[in-house]
Structure 1
Amino acid sequence: MAIIRILPHPEYCPKGAEIEATAGTSICEALLEHDIKIEHACDMSCACTTCHVVVREGFNSLNEMDENEEDLLDRAWGLEPNSRLSCQAIVAQKDLTVEIPKYSINHAKENH
């Protein structure tokens, strides 16, 4: 089990959070399992950027990005060198600290 620390986000996680995630789970799945309702408009199929996160600690422990994810991230709001699509970033054994960007490219929220 890895610990994922989520930095405060005004909408999804106002006080921040610390959750446990099983190795092999995506960051997105882990957040959703703990009632942190991050957007995921494409149902985690790597077709949008609404689940974009910035991995502040533990970035190198995640699986490598494939070309599709890299291409999509170019369109993400607030892109940083340690950005990932949370639906594609698979948790290993190392603890992580993630930040959910304040904005996404979605103008309307999906009802997941």
Structure 2
Amino acid sequence: MPTIKILPHPEYCPQGASVSAPPGTSICEALLDNDIKIEHACDMSCACTTCHVVVREGFNSLGELDEAEEDLLDRAWGLEPNSRLSCQAILAQQDVTIEIPKYSINHAKENH
């Protein structure tokens, strides 16, 4: 089972964290299942960028980006070449390391 290493984030996991999830699980689902309350304003329907993450290791092991995700990522705060929407980034067999950006474009947080 692949492991997701989450780099420290002042709000979501100040000490950083590591979680495991079965292949085929999105990064967003894995975080939420392990009480890391990443924003996901569109309920993981690939309609916003609030779950944006930067994949520091293991980027190429994730499922392919589709056109809808690529178009949305253009609007993400802090976009980098290895950015993904965590709701669309599907784990395979390899471990990944992610960083949750400090900000998102969402001005009002949802209570999920």
Q: Tell me whether the two structures share a fold, i.e. TM-score over 0.5.
A: yes
Verify: 1:26 aligned to 2:26, yes or no: yes
Q: Which runs of 5+ in 1 are unaligned?
A: none
Query: What corresponds to 1:37 in structure 2?
Result: 37
Q: CA deviation at 1:21?
A: 1.1
Query: What corresponds to 1:68 in structure 2?
Result: 68
Q: CA deviation at 1:31?
A: 0.2
Write the deviation string for residues 48-95 of structure 1: whole angstroms up to 9, x where unpaired. 000000000000000110000000000000000000000000000000
Q: CA deviation at 1:18?
A: 0.6
Write the deviation string for residues 32-54 of structure 1: whole angstroms up to 9, x where unpaired. 00000000000000000000000
Write the deviation string for residues 4-49 of structure 1: whole angstroms up to 9, x where unpaired. 0000000001000011011000000000000000000000000000
Output the amino acid matched with 1:61: S
Could you tell me the TM-score, scaled by structure 2's length?
0.99
- Figure out how many residues of one structure are paired with residues of the other and give that number: 112
Moved over 6 A (4+): none
Output the amino acid matched with 1:35: D
Could you tell me the TM-score, scaled by structure 1's length?
0.99
Query: What corresponds to 1:58 in structure 2?
Result: 58
Q: Percent identity?
A: 84
Q: Which runs of 5+ in 2 are unaligned?
A: none
